[in-house]
Structure 1
């Protein structure tokens, strides 16, 4: 079943400080506070000039090196090989997840205890144990395309909603294996190997998102977010290479969730009530169509991953056999059908349940188009208009916008809330990558300016400074003594936090 889950966010009330292991010398700290207070990242870095050649390090595989073929079969083999390892080996894998340059807080979940003090030798042994999985992931990441072969276009609404995505959730374990291997390479200062593995991890996130659903887009985004943490750790390493051009080469958006958004909004057109609205049916068949559609809405709304974990319930589908429950809607539906394109003669010729079906069918198309027309706009142009759709004003029949009419059965409105969740997850990832690109520009500037940061980003002339992906405007920057400060505003009410990055130069010996 399609399930929307929130990935990569920790709902915390108390302050948590996450710092690099002191014995690994890198210095980057993440401070997370409760409520809507911004997350803060503190970097201690070295000045660093451009690498030569400029694209010595890449975040995605070189297009010239891709091999013909489909990646999905290799990913499936990687999953099978991972699952074939013994329970003891997979338990060791779970415990070794605690290893990292950035130490994460222990989970309160009894099934996810974090083991402190995992040694690098222990992790190297684990990576050797799972080398068969890594071989398949390497083959997958270097293929020309990825087709998961779900055949969703041939499925109806019920079949699509009941698709299982378990294999895509498991891809996060494969990504974490890659991230562990990259961290070992960082500790060994083998940056060539680290970036080879980072490419595999980012490509895994992009390939997962090639299955065009919102949930797979969110999983792919979560994988990419975790991978960019590894980049943060590299940047904070003493003497690390400058990654400005590696970051500049990343396509934006890195994870494109828009095909998944479009596919799921189109799903509303496959709901039985909408699909059959203009075809003749018996009275019992109309009642059955209503019942099927209500059950689909129930499945979408009874979602344990919704904010706060609450679920929504609807009337028992059997209760829709009573026309008395629908009578209060008849007058409004007939009036709105005229504006939705039906003539008075067409309306008078329809049985009452078909009137409602015709209303829902046309209204769903209006609502879908109202959202789809915006998702290809740059985020800063679409955000305010999307908020207007998510929080419509008048729904009493007096609105000038057809899309503000109220559905009798909330088919489209059961899908709509997930649109914002997907788009904002994608833009947050792009913001974090833009932030790292600015940090690398600052390291370039410090190299050419006697280890000093600029008073303003306008003083950085060696390379262009990216705009804030959220606002489309210059990134907010200030110099606090010797500390460079970057500020990113919250993207919206769904992701109700901003991010502040404070960068200082490592003291010379």
Structure 2
């Protein structure tokens, strides 16, 4: 897998589809995706962090998680690739939970592969060892490994479903810890596509909690959810990695030093051949540069921008029109890259409505990631985790009040999180002994049911 091309396709998949179902698929109701939860009224345990969704730091030992997770696939071709095995995984991931309790194949499902994942999750270091390679190979960087990790989390999900079905909550939490640890490991991946895969794995793990909390006797996970890093994937490393993808090969474009025409043309043609850039475009990057370099007005405008950026006019006058166009285009690319990156650590509800949508049409503009889709994927996972935390808050209140649902979320004596999309409390109401809780969809997604998850909560009598 190349680093660049799949980012756009994968972003569409992650943002445009509901989380992987942990039960028979739910049909959307209009623009809503309603998940009915019948739960016990249960208070959080003491000590508060007896149950965790990431391994206890006291259990960590020296080692690199990534190398250890790779070993999950050794001598496991049948488990991960045989059609009979993958067909069963697909079936078991959509079979009603009550039908899995007696499925003997699910006891210790995944065997040595999952045992290795448990070990990997309890190592104290995450190092993908890609930084130097990303800098050296740029947009041609291959990432053949990261999609394989999705296979591992699917296997662990099957195992967790069997454990939840059998009410083996301690075992299920151990499996979920490994799932969340695998997802969290992608927070250190130096590419945005790596982050997207981590977000996808986090969604798979989080939706399994919807079944967990419904099982009779299931412990309350309010503090376990609250203890998860927020966000699980923060996009910092991936954004910085975007700088490296063009750092070495195009470093010369930051200086007004004459470059041979043949060398310029060769560098531009690299953009033509990168999957998803030149291929299939109406105007290839090399054709766009050639046309712009022959347009005197375009060259003059580019020169003005470069002068404004600090380049000396007499130095620019010594450059070919093609180099001026390419330098200016690269400058615009880096400006827009920073314009998007600067919002990375700002809460979603404070980002501008057009965040991540602006792209200049030049050769380097095609290298800009699908920032808006990446950010939407991240906040969707944040919102799901926050919604589940609020559900556990409702369960805790009911436990303290004879099974009675709180009339408002303010009545819950726990720090119920706000909606990470809107920055406001979740929408909550109670009617006829059934509570509903939902978040606010992002702007422009109001009619998109994949961003309108609603929990209907009924307390088991």
Q: TM-score, normalised by structure 2?
A: 0.87
2:124 aligned with 1:144, yes or no? Answer: yes
Query: Matches of 2:402 and 2:348 in 1, distance apart?
Result: 38
Partner secondary structure for residue 188 of structure 2: coil
Q: CA RMSD in A?
A: 3.1
Residue 368 to residue 74, structure 1, CA distance change in 2 (3 Å):
same
Distance of 1:384 and 1:320 partners within structure 2: 31
Q: CA, structure 1 residues 301+289, in 2 after alignment: closer, same or farther (shift >3 Å)?
A: closer
Partner Cα distance (1:258, 1:494) in 2: 25
In structure 1, C-alpha distance between the alignment counterparts of 2:23 and 2:266, rounded to whole Å: 59
Q: Secondary structure at the match of 1:155?
A: helix
Q: Higher relative contact order at CA 8 Å, sep ≥6: structure 1 or structure 2?
A: 2
SS in 2 for 1:69: strand
Task: Flag the 1:478–1:86 CA change in 2: closer, same or farther, 3 A.
Answer: closer
1:275 deviates by: 4.1
User: How far does residue 72 in structure 1 lie from its aligned partner after superposition?
Assistant: 1.9
Q: 1:429 to 1:320 in 2, by over 3 A?
A: closer
Q: CA deviation at 1:97?
A: 2.8
Taking the aligned partners of 2:165 and 2:271, their CA distance within structure 1 comes to 55
Are 1:337 and 2:306 counterparts? yes
User: 2:55 corresponds to which residue?
Assistant: 61
Give the distance between the partners of 1:275 and 1:50, measured in 2 at CA. 58
In structure 1, the residue matched to 2:75 is 81
**Closer/same/farther in 2, CA of residues 376 and 180 from structure 1, 3 Å limit:** same
Once residues 281 and 97 of structure 1 are traced to their aligned partners in structure 2, the CA distance between those partners, rounded to angstroms, is 55
Q: 1:416 aligned to 2:385?
A: no
Distance in 1 separating the partners of 2:45 and 2:62: 30
Aligned to 1:121: 103
Q: CA deviation at 1:328?
A: 5.1
Which of the residues 76, 94, 102 maps onto 2:87?
94
Aligned partner of 1:32 among 28, 31, 37? 28
Secondary structure of 1:32's match? Answer: coil
Match of 2:152 among 146, 170, 174: 174
Residues 313 and 61 from structure 1, CA distance in 2 versus in 1: closer, same or farther, beyond 3 angstroms? farther
State the TM-score, normalized to the length of structure 1: 0.79
Unaligned runs of 5+ in 2: none
Matches within 5 A, 1:247-396: 247-272=225-250, 275=253, 277-296=255-274, 299-300=276-277, 302=279, 312-315=281-284, 317=286, 325-327=294-296, 329-381=298-350, 383-384=351-352, 387-388=354-355, 390-391=357-358
Does the C-alpha gap of structure 1 residues 301 and 315 become closer, same or farther in structure 2, counting only changes over 3 Å? closer
The corresponding residue for 1:485 is 436
How many residues are treated as equivalent by the alignment? 450
| Alpha carbons 2:307, 2:313 under 8 Å: kept | yes
Q: Quick check: 1:30–1:42 contact (8 Å CA) kept in 2? A: no
Task: Give distance in 2, aligned partners of 1:154 and 1:50.
Answer: 45
Name the CA distance, whole Å, in 2 between partners of 1:173 and 1:121.
Answer: 21
The Cα of 1:233 is off from its aligned counterpart by 0.4
Unaligned runs of 5+ in 1: 13-17, 22-28, 105-116, 303-310, 393-405
Which residue matches 1:234? 212
Cα displacement (A) at 1:31: 3.7
Does 2:189 align with 1:211?
yes
Q: How far has the Cα of 1:270 moved from its partner?
A: 4.3
Does 1:72 find its partner at 2:52?
no
Residue 420 of structure 2 aligns with which residue? 469
Structure 1 residues 322 and 431: alpha-carbon distance in aligned structure 2, compared to 1, 3 A threshold: closer
